[in-house]
Structure 1
Amino acid sequence: MSPIAQAIPTQPAIARRAVFPFTAIVGQEEMKLALLLNVIDPKIGGVMIMGDRGTGKSTTIRALTDLLPEIEVVADDPFNSHPSDPELMSDVVRDRASRGETLPLMQRKVQMIDLPLGATEDRVCGTIDIEKALSEGVKAFEPGLLAKANRGILYVDEVNLLDDHLVDVLLDSAASGWNTVEREGISIRHPARFVLVGSGNPEEGELRPQLLDRFGMHAEIRTVKEPALRVKIVEERSGFDQNPQTYLEQHETEQQALQQTLIDAQNLLPSVNLDYEMRVQISQVCSELDVDGLRGDIVTNRAAKAIAALEGRTEVTLDDIRRVITLCLRHRLRKDPLESIDSGSKVQKVFSSVFGVEMPTEG
């Protein structure tokens, strides 16, 4: 397998399916911002996108994945292991690196893994071949979707219809960055650091509050009502469908610029400062909204720093916090499973009161 893997970079590039460019997506600013911030800082904890059918949820997520720069991986490893960061290496690769072995490397596009609704736990987490383990004394592991998603994006459409137990498994892996499979006393673990993106239609039911709280952000999208904007969206899509290659060439400069912006933001993020007084005020907002636990405080801090990095700044401003706080807190206010999620007015009202600013006119 190793010689084949090493030969991969020299093979001619296989033409990939054309993907609608992220920079050409009209509207849905809330969803686009939440996705970009999670790419800059995956520790924000993923995005739950709820909205009407046919509002471009899947299109936007595929477009974002296509936009991301290639990553360097260990070529003969099924977990997309990082060649130098031990936290993103499988145990086998870490052992090889510690022995001073030269690892075969290759560039690979960031993967977007679709998790089908009917997926079993074995398909998601991977399986251990017990017979092989007992007869040959080796840990025979068949990687699952979480292995493929490492250092990429895991997308679950209609996550609100997924079995609660599977949602728990996904959220555990996303939070810890590791997936552990145990069978008959045999245990195998591998890195599973991914951006978890769930989407769904609120008419089909919401996730339980306990699960919803574990998503870093919650973006709401609505069908565009303005006729001129609807026409623009239809025209853009028609232009892409008629001649994808020409359409992509027209947006190539914008795409490259946004890709570079994301790379710069990731590099700048560790240098971004959030003033202590602002951190206290963020926690005061969470306290006054009666948000359970501290996830809301942590995610809002991270998102505020990420948006500053996105715009090339090293100091978080009050406006940064205003733009992300609803995304980070609205889904944490629901105590009753039958209660609907706040549109954002409650969060903005408390934010305005604590930070001493006027309520935005849009609500």
Structure 2
Amino acid sequence: MSLYPFTAIVDQERLVQALLVNAVNPAVGGVLVEGPSGTGKSTAVRGLAELLPEIEVVADCPFSCDPADPCSSCRERVARGEHLGSHLRRVRVVDLPLNATEDRVAGSVDIARALREGVMALEPGLLAEANRGIIYVDEINLLDDHICDVLLDAAALGVNVVEREGVSVSHPARFLLVGTMNPEEGELRPQLADRIGLRVGVDALSDPGRRAEILRRREAFTADPSGFAAGWSDEQSKLAAAIQSARDRVGAVAVAPDLYRAIARLVTGAGVASHRADVTILQCAKALAALDGHDAVEPANLLDAAGLALGHRVPVDPFEPASGLDDRLLRRILEDALDAETSEKKAAVPVRPGRTLH
């Protein structure tokens, strides 16, 4: 089955940017997409998976573990002298439905077997299926709070822990979390919003020409999915290569010492208390620099990263309309932060006494 090509998405630059940043640097922490239905959110997420490099997985491992870094269950098999077969496959996109139970998400444990066999007694859930993949939660603001906590704990730790009747079983759970929501259907609690790295607002296009282009492309794809995808294959290959190149580069992207304090000034200047915001901006800026082909973070990368990372973390007065942060305000705060760093650096330079001329 052919999926709609990621590169054929019309506009929605911020959504595309946020997804690419997470594809390059998973430490960014996922994406929250706000907007009405029918604006291409799920199409973009599923299209992104097609651009990611195939992963090598242990053939019969329920957690899709890497043969080079096997899970505890597969390590036990190796210790018993078993050979771990492997194969390549595409990254999965796993949908988490709103009515999912904790057992369906985290998995369930056969207590009697757990006492005898450990992790082999786990009946895998969605978190196991999504390991090394993408979890997509539509209307995440309507998801049960307890399930949200299970999901976010696993995302933060990279491990899913299932505890039943005093028995604890764990398995790897590393995934990209993408949640969507329509603000008109309810807000996302602040504690949950802070745990998701980036926030993007998606609006329906109002320009008739751009909407007409969406129609033409959608009609062509519906008529001949394979043919339409083939027409975008060159663009898809170029972007996939850019993602892989940025992944290889991001770990070596340098950050000037004064930019660390500039990030801190930027976050506090925006009125955000959470330290997660600082970490997210730094990791996002590194990914943006890597995507641009740069070896070091630049102020423009910080500005773009702040626009993606701070909007859902800014304190909102419940009696005032939500305004968030606009780009001009962010730019001013960042410029003030950089100016302050420059001034402090100059003030710290000792002045050498000069000779008095007679």
The normalised TM-score by structure 1 is 0.88
Q: 1:289 aligned to 2:273? A: no
Q: 1:151 aligned to 2:132? A: yes
CA distance in 1: counterparts of 2:149 and 2:55, whole angstroms: 28
Q: 1:201 aligns with which of 159, 182, 185?
A: 182
Aligned to 1:81: 65
Query: Does structure 2 retain, via aligned residues, the 8 Å contact 1:158–1:199?
Result: yes
User: Helix, strand or coil: the match of 2:104?
Assistant: helix
CA distance in 2: counterparts of 1:107 and 1:337, whole angstroms: 50
Superposed counterparts of 1:338-357, under 5 Å = 340=322, 342-345=324-327, 346-355=329-338
Aligned to 1:118: 99
Aligned to 1:278: 259
Aligned to 1:45: 29
Query: Does structure 2 retain, via aligned residues, the 8 Å contact 1:74–1:83?
Result: yes
From the superposition, tell whether residues 290 and 103 of structure 1 become closer, same or farther in structure 2 (CA, over 3 Å).
same
Superposed counterparts of 1:184-195, under 5 Å = 184-195=165-176
Q: 1:260 aligned to 2:244? A: no
Deviations 1:329-353 (A, max 9, x none): 1111125567636153443442243
CA distance in 2: counterparts of 1:264 and 1:337, whole angstroms: 44
CA distance in 2: counterparts of 1:322 and 1:83, whole angstroms: 39
Aligned to 1:32: 16
CA distance in 1: counterparts of 2:37 and 2:110, whole angstroms: 41
Give the superposition deviation at 1:264: 1.2
Aligned residues: 337
CA distance in 2: counterparts of 1:282 and 1:57, whole angstroms: 29
Give the superposition deviation at 1:18: 1.3
From the superposition, tell whether residues 64 and 213 of structure 1 become closer, same or farther in structure 2 (CA, over 3 Å).
same
Query: Does structure 1 retain, via aligned residues, the 8 Å contact 2:271–2:315?
Result: no
Superposed counterparts of 1:302-341, under 5 Å = 302-334=283-315, 340=322
Give the superposition deviation at 1:205: 1.4
Aligned to 1:234: 215
Gaps of 5+ in 1: 1-16, 357-363
Superposed counterparts of 1:76-115, under 5 Å = 76-85=60-69, 89-97=70-78, 101-115=82-96
CA distance in 2: counterparts of 1:141 and 1:321, whole angstroms: 43
Greater gyration radius: 2
Query: Does structure 1 retain, via aligned residues, the 8 Å contact 2:114–2:122?
Result: no
CA distance in 2: counterparts of 1:100 and 1:314, whole angstroms: 44
From the superposition, tell whether residues 96 and 133 of structure 1 become closer, same or farther in structure 2 (CA, over 3 Å).
closer
CA distance in 1: counterparts of 2:81 and 2:271, whole angstroms: 52
CA distance in 2: counterparts of 1:170 and 1:133, whole angstroms: 23
Aligned to 1:129: 110
CA distance in 1: counterparts of 2:134 and 2:175, whole angstroms: 5
From the superposition, tell whether residues 132 and 84 of structure 1 become closer, same or farther in structure 2 (CA, over 3 Å).
closer
From the superposition, tell whether residues 242 and 343 of structure 1 become closer, same or farther in structure 2 (CA, over 3 Å).
farther
Query: Does structure 1 retain, via aligned residues, the 8 Å contact 2:35–2:203?
Result: yes
Aligned to 1:212: 193
Give the superposition deviation at 1:271: 1.0
Query: Does structure 2 retain, via aligned residues, the 8 Å contact 1:289–1:350?
Result: yes
Give the superposition deviation at 1:292: 1.5
Query: Does structure 2 retain, via aligned residues, the 8 Å contact 1:209–1:335?
Result: no
Give the superposition deviation at 1:162: 0.5
Q: 1:20 aligned to 2:4? A: yes
Deviations 1:192-235 (A, max 9, x none): 00000000111111211111011000011111111111111111
CA distance in 1: counterparts of 2:331 and 2:179, whole angstroms: 24
CA distance in 2: counterparts of 1:118 and 1:327, whole angstroms: 29
The normalised TM-score by structure 2 is 0.89
Q: 1:142 aligns with which of 123, 128, 132?
A: 123
Deviations 1:20-66 (A, max 9, x none): 00000011110110011101111111000001221110111111112
Query: Does structure 1 retain, via aligned residues, the 8 Å contact 2:316–2:322?
Result: no
Aligned to 1:61: 45
Gaps of 5+ in 2: 340-358
Give the superposition deviation at 1:168: 1.4
Query: Does structure 2 retain, via aligned residues, the 8 Å contact 1:21–1:255?
Result: yes
CA distance in 2: counterparts of 1:177 and 1:120, whole angstroms: 20
From the superposition, tell whether residues 321 and 98 of structure 1 become closer, same or farther in structure 2 (CA, over 3 Å).
farther
Give the superposition deviation at 1:100: 6.7
User: Helix, strand or coil: the match of 2:277?
Assistant: helix
Which segments of structure 1 move beyond 4 Å, counting only runs of 4 or more? 97-101, 131-134, 136-139, 335-339
Counterpart amino acid of residue 354 in structure 1: A
User: Helix, strand or coil: the match of 1:36?
Assistant: helix
